[in-house]
Amino acid sequence: MPPRGLTLTLMSRFSLAPMTTKTAVTVLGLGPMGHALASTFLTAGHPTTVWNRSPAKAGDLVARGAIRAATPADAAAASDVVVACVLDYAAAREVFAAAAPALGGRSLVHLTSGSPDSARSLADWATGHGVTYVDGAILTPTFTIGTPDAVFLFSGQEEPPAAMASLGGSTTYLGPDPGRAAAYDVALLDIFWTSVAGMTHGFAMARAENITATELAPFAKGIGSLLPLVIDNHACRVDQGRHDGDHSTIASAVAGMSHIIESADARGITVETMRAARSVALRAVEAGHGSDGLSRLTELLGPRTTGTAQR
């Protein structure tokens, strides 16, 4: 029989150690983002089940302890929290239809990009099948998942399950409208991809004048650093309905855009994006808003709305 002191030491080390149980999570879809999500859940200690159309994509995850399910229904049946990240909403509907018999009573966190109306329609489908639906948007690249740099938006019937905290970064719940996260997503992607399109076109313009991309890059980053100030100013003006052109005007923007188009045409560089932007600005000038600030263009592009979309 071990000495009393040793017995107490063993009891304090093993019997009194806190027991923690991680929520079981299923991940449907193992593209680059889905794979990153599943990998992060595994690293955080969640029992993780995975499914993908191409089973081979789960190989390294299975080697680390994930369970590979043969069908979406088998995968959904394995966990109370089901996370889906596939190509688009059409693919999601097909996967969810196959998993429907096992999804009832579970929390479905859908992280596929799509339109707000698609998210609302899918939420209606989920409700009809007894599924708690949370729609989400991931605003950062795959390599941020599991780090403090990850950014997630969620909306739907309830706040995201606690297991989602294992993905790291910041999480914002936007309310019960299931299309709200997707609405943020498409608006932010609009800003991002339009900016990237401008960057790629700018490099093409520079190269046509024998300026290397590396030579232009420091100045391009300087231009980019102005965007946060422009965003704050523009947002304030749009929400207040105040469009005075005290710093810059639509008419001056048209002149600048025209210089770009002229230069691009002279070098045989396609310039459809800038022509489209100038077309919107010209409409404002023709409507008598040439002396207004650029925030006026947001109103001209569509109806002014308040609050969230009604279902």
Of 125, 141, 175, the one marking the end of a domain is 175
Secondary structure element (H or E) that encloses residue 135, with its range = strand 132-138
Q: Does residue 208 fall inside a structural domain? A: yes
Overall domain count for the chain: 2
The tokens 């150690």 sit on which residue? Answer: 17
Alpha carbon distance 79, 17 (integer Å): 26
* 308 pLDDT more than 80: no
Please report the DSSP string for 68-82 in residue order: EPSSHHHHHHT-SEE
Same structural domain for residues 48 and 143? Answer: yes
Could you tell me the maximum CA-CA distance found in the chain, to the nearest angstrom?
A: 97
Q: Are residues 159 and 90 in the same domain?
A: yes
34-47 per-position pLDDT tens digit: 999 999 999 999 99
Question: Do the Cβ atoms of 110 and 91 come closer than 8 Å?
Answer: no
Beta-carbon count within 10 A of 75 CB: 25
Q: Are 66 and 171 found together in one domain? A: yes
Considering the domain architecture, whether residues 93 and 215 belong to the same structural domain is answered as: no
Amino acid at 149: D
pLDDT score for 305: 52
Are 216 and 290 found together in one domain? yes
**Alpha carbon of 178 to those of 118, 174, 175, 274: distances in Å?**
9, 9, 8, 34
How far is residue 165's CA from residue 245's CA, in Å, rounded to a whole number? 44
The predicted structure's pLDDT at residue 304:
57
pLDDT of residue 302: 77
Asked, for residue 11, whether it belongs to a domain, the answer is no
Question: Tell me, what's the pLDDT at 69?
Answer: 98
For residue 27, give the H/E element and its range. strand 25-28
The crossing angle, in degrees rounded to 10, of helices 116-128 and 89-103 is 20
The percent of residues above 90 in pLDDT, for the chain, comes to 88
Q: What is the structure's pLDDT at 8?
A: 35
Indicate if the pLDDT at residue 13 is higher than 80.
no
- Is the domain of 61 the same as that of 83? yes
One domain, residues 95 and 144: yes
pLDDT value at 203 more than 70: yes
Check whether residue 125 and residue 239 sit in a common domain.
Answer: no
Residue 310 lies in a domain: no
Mean residue pLDDT across the chain: 91
CA–CA distance, 47 with 224 (Å, rounded to integer) = 43
| pTM, rounded to two decimals | 0.86
Per the structure, the complete domain to which residue 229 belongs is given by 185-301
User: Is 43 among the domain residues?
Assistant: yes
Using the 3D structure, point to which of 149, 175, 201 is the last residue of a domain. 175
List pLDDT tens digits, range 158-194.
999 999 999 999 999 999 999 999 999 999 999 999 9
**DSSP run (H or E) holding 48:** strand 48-51
Query: Looking at this protein, which amino acid is placed at residue 118?
Result: S
With 0-12 / 13-18 / 19 or more C-beta atoms within 10 angstroms meaning exposed / middle / buried, residue 288 is exposed
List, in sequence order, every residue forming a beta bridge with 186; answer none if it has no partner: none
Residues 66 and 201 in one domain: no
Residue where one domain finishes, among candidates 175, 204, 221? 175
Residues forming a β-bridge with 50: 27, 68
Under DSSP, the state recorded for 15 is I
Whether the CB-CB separation of 171 and 150 falls below 8 Å is answered with: no
- Dihedral sign (CA 294, 300, 303, 304): positive
Question: Are 158 and 28 found together in one domain?
Answer: yes
| Residue 268: inside a domain | yes
Per DSSP, the three-state class of 272 is helix
* Residue 239 domain flag: yes
Count Cβ atoms below 10 Å from residue 45 Cβ, excluding itself: 13
Same domain, 123 and 253: no
Residue 15, pLDDT above cutoff 70 = no
Domain CATH number, residue 217: 1.10.1040.10
Q: Are 83 and 28 in contact (CB under 8 A)?
A: yes
What CATH number is associated with residue 53? Answer: 3.40.50.720
pLDDT digit string, tens, across residues 90-104: 999 999 999 999 999
160 within domain boundaries:
yes
Residues 6+ apart with CB under 8 A from 17: none
Q: Is residue 163 part of a domain?
A: yes
- Taking only the tens place, the pLDDT of each residue in 221-244 is 999 999 999 999 999 999 999 999
For the ranges 114-118, 255-259, 268-272, 307-311, the lowest mean pLDDT is seen at 307-311
Return all residues near 259 (Cβ < 8 A) that are at least 6 apart: none
Q: Is the pLDDT of residue 14 over 60?
A: no
pLDDT at 2 over 90: no
Residues 111 and 166 in one domain: yes
